[in-house]
Amino acid sequence: MKRLLSCYASDLLGATKEELKQSILSSEGRIIMGETVVTAAPLIAGVTNAEMMAAFGCDLLVLNELDVFHPEIVGFYDCDNPIAEIKRLTGRLVGINLEPVDSSQEVQDQQVFLKPGRQVSPESLGQAQALGVDFIMLTGNPATGVSMAAIRSAIGLAKEHFKGLIFAGKMHGAGLGESVVDSQALLDFVDLGADGVLIPAVGTVPGVREEIVAPIVSQVKARGGLVISTIGTSQESADSQTVREFGLSNKRVGSDIHHIGDGGYGRMPDPENILALSLAVRGKRHTYFRIGQSVRR
């Protein structure tokens, strides 16, 4: 399996979970993950946000707020399986968020209640598998009440019912006041079988500094886990210089994947910021390789 940085769409067909993980790892911190909300109208009518993110250089696509029991993408044409169709159109790996809500916790904001198709359960995991989802993020949207403890409990369930990559962690508080950069919790996630962990990019969540994150990243990687540095605080719509600084900081702490979230216009990252992030962490050669190639290759 080639490094994901150098893959064409055809290289990903039939790849195993273990091959994909190694492909990401061997790309040495140069993989871009873009996220979009599928319940919102797309940025540009007639083009899904997933296609737009792929066009600007994302290697991994996250479809947030997808209900696996009713998998619809606003603005997309009707099809039996929109996950499979997005994968066909973009040639990219496609994932979703499933949220382990902690009913024992009191949310600080007005709580957002989720449909069963967006929560972690044996049924939702099985349906994600049936749809052909490549990876699942066990994480929480704002004010949903997802806790680190609930994520920990969900990992075993995900391993039992889903055969793709499993990433676990929080990009922000998700309505709770707990620390989201909890070294022991993140190491436990890997020990329990998560393929990678989410850690907020330095400068996104208050108090998250490089000297705090770098040692945790080293420990996670020593245990065989991937690290995803996330921009999930609407700073994906900040100026491009800020986004470039996030990317370079992610590289300094040792991240494998640079996530950029769905808080921009059209509920996707600003396309210019995807491009800025890509240029900062992998330069023009690899950026142009990704955005210029045909999905027929």
CB 44 within 8 A of CB 266: yes
CATH of 18-292, one of 1.10.10.10, 3.90.1150.10, 3.20.10.10, 3.20.20.330: 3.20.20.330
Quote the crossing angle between the two packed helices 122-131 and 148-161, to the nearest 10°. Answer: 50
pLDDT score for 112: 83
Amino acid at position 103, single letter = S
Q: Is 186 exposed, middle or buried (0-12, 13-18, 19+ CB in 10 A)?
A: buried
Concatenated DSSP letters for 33-48?
Answer: EEEEETTS--SBTTB-
Concatenated DSSP letters for 172-210?
Answer: S-TT--S-S--HHHHHHHHHTT-SEEEEEPTTTSTT--H
Q: Is the dihedral of CA 156, 144, 173, 20 positive or negative?
A: positive
3-class secondary structure, 169:
strand
Residue 186 has pLDDT above 90, yes or no: yes
pLDDT, one tens digit per residue, over 62-107 is: 999 999 999 999 999 999 999 999 999 999 999 999 999 998 888 8
Quote the crossing angle between the two packed helices 240-253 and 271-292, to the nearest 10°. Answer: 60
pLDDT score for 109: 79
Q: Compute, in degrees rounded to 10, the torsion defined by CA atoms 28, 23, 96, 43.
A: 60
Q: What percent of the chain has pLDDT over 90?
A: 92
Which token pair is 13? 């067909």
> Average of pLDDT values for 214-221?
98
CA distance 76 to 53: 15
CB 102 within 8 A of CB 150: yes
pLDDT, one tens digit per residue, over 8-51 is: 999 999 999 999 999 999 999 999 999 999 999 999 999 999 99
Could you tell me which residue, 175 or 165, shows the higher pLDDT?
A: 165
Partners of 168 in the beta sheet?
138, 197
Please tell me the pTM assigned to this model.
Answer: 0.96
